[in-house]
Amino acid sequence: MRARRVVFVAFPGVQILDVTGPMEVFSTATRFLDTADYRTELVSTHGGPVRSSCGLEMATSSIVDLDGPLDTLVAAGGQDMDEPSNDEILVEHLQRLACKAPRVASVCSGAFLLAAAGLLDGRRATTHWAECDELAERYPEVEVDPDALYVQEGHVWTSAGITAGIDMALALVAEDHGRRAAARVARQLVVYLRRSGGQSQFSKLLAAQSADSEPIRELLAWLPDHLADNLSVPALARNVNLSERQFSRRFKHEVGASPAEHVETLRLDAACRLLETTDNPIEEIARVCGFGATETMNRVFRRRLNTTPGGHRHHFGAGDHVSLPEAT
């Protein structure tokens, strides 16, 4: 078993979770997988303590002194990328190390560092959704995908904001050791190994949390536990004591999607989670998630995810599943 060297690049104001989230994935893989041995390092321009955006300091070594073979080079992000992107020493040595690394990655706005080093020219890439327009404007040679959790273009990986770095790191472990090994790491970290790179980073489920009115907020909190109920517009309108027309208009305004679209997203998300974490029959999952017939769930998976429920389970299922209790 060969140790894999993973080098993280930091700077003053770095977002600490961009470093510690992916780093913990590699550390957990080393501790719980017999086949994994990751050696992580943290570097900055001159080395020494680096204060993160939340105020915590991290010890780093100098990127100038870093030499020898490495397997993965990861650029972390931060709230203000102007200074690190204009740090000629940092960018120069980032280019130098990238030439030696079989795999280069960025977390969140760390994509600006890779772009400043010319490593994203002619490639599709992503970053935090709020920074995508700026990345595209500043580096027109980069094809920015504003809606992906992470993007792999050859040996270069880029990821969206913060926790998407964990998703990307799990994908890197899967590339090195297989999907089941990555699933074991995900279970140890108590996260779902379910978010593929093509999944939207600006989730409708997250956007829905910003609903303004109390009836809509209460309805949104109630919905995930009642997916098998009648969730038609008339039924939901009665639930919040509004007319169908008034309900539909207010829901679309506050949530950014129609009631039917939001309910379908909830059911799809629940079905994906059960396909990945249980061995329950697809027919049972279709029922408890409110799709009714299996064919209805198949159509939604093909339209929304370009796959089938069985294909999704094959690709993202972790093995060693548990059984889902019978729904009442």
Q: Which residue has the tokens 């999607």?
A: 257
- At residue 206, the pLDDT reads 56
Mean pLDDT of 123-128: 94
The C-alpha angle with vertex 76 and arms to 47 and 109, in degrees rounded to 5, equals: 135
- For the chain, the farthest-separated pair of C-alpha atoms sits apart, in whole angstroms, at 68
Mean pLDDT across the stretch 225-244? Answer: 95
User: Residue 203 has which token pair?
Assistant: 């989730």
pLDDT of residue 272: 87
Lowest mean pLDDT among 6-15, 45-54, 83-92, 216-225: 216-225
Active-site position among 99, 108, 132, 289: 108
Q: Nearest to residue 231, comparing CAs of 209, 264, 275?
A: 264
C-alpha 166: how far from its chain's center?
A: 7
Model pLDDT, residue 257: 87
186-200, 263-277, 305-319: least confidently modelled range? 186-200
Q: Could you confirm whether 108 is annotated as catalytic? A: yes
Whether residue 78 contacts residue 85, with contact meaning beta carbons closer than 8 Å, is answered with no
pLDDT at 37: 97
Question: Which phi and psi angles does 238 have, rounded to 5°?
Answer: -65, -35
Give the mean pLDDT of the chain.
Answer: 89
Q: Identify residue 144 by its one-letter amino acid code.
A: V
Lookup: tokens for 253: 């305004």
Name residue, tokens 């309910």.
263
- Burial (CB < 10 A; 0-12, 13-18, 19+), residue 190, is exposed
Question: Does residue 152 sit in helix, strand or coil?
Answer: strand
149 residue type, one letter: L
Token pair belonging to 87: 């740090």
Cβ distance 27 to 40 under 8 Å? yes
Residue 42 tokens, joined: 């943290």
For 189-200, the pLDDT digits (tens) are 877 554 444 454
pLDDT in tens, 95-111: 999 999 999 999 999 99
**Residue at token pair 């009642």:** 226
Residue 313 pLDDT > 70: yes
Pairing of strands 150-153, 156-159: antiparallel
Tell me the backbone φ, ψ of residue 14, rounded to 5 degrees. Answer: -65, 145
The dihedral through the CA atoms of 67, 87, 61, 18 has a sign that is negative
**How far apart, in whole angstroms, are the C-alpha atoms of residue 106 and residue 92?**
16
What distance in Å separates the CA atoms of residue 155 and residue 215, rounded to the nearest whole number? 48
Residue 278: phi, psi to the nearest 5?
A: -135, 165
Q: Tens digits of per-residue pLDDT, 130-166?
A: 899 999 999 999 999 987 888 999 999 999 987 889 9
How far is it, in rounded angstroms, from Cα 40 to Cα 46?
A: 18
Identify the three-state secondary structure at position 241.
Answer: coil
In this prediction, residue 208 carries a pLDDT of 57
Instruction: Please report which residue ranges of 33-131 form alpha helices under DSSP H.
Output: 82-85, 88-98, 111-116
Residue-range domains of the chain with CATH: 4-188 (3.40.50.880), 204-328 (1.10.10.60)
For residue 30, give the amino acid letter.
T
Residue 225 phi, psi dihedral angles, 5° rounding = -90, 5
Most confident residue range from 170-179, 210-219, 227-236, 307-316? 227-236
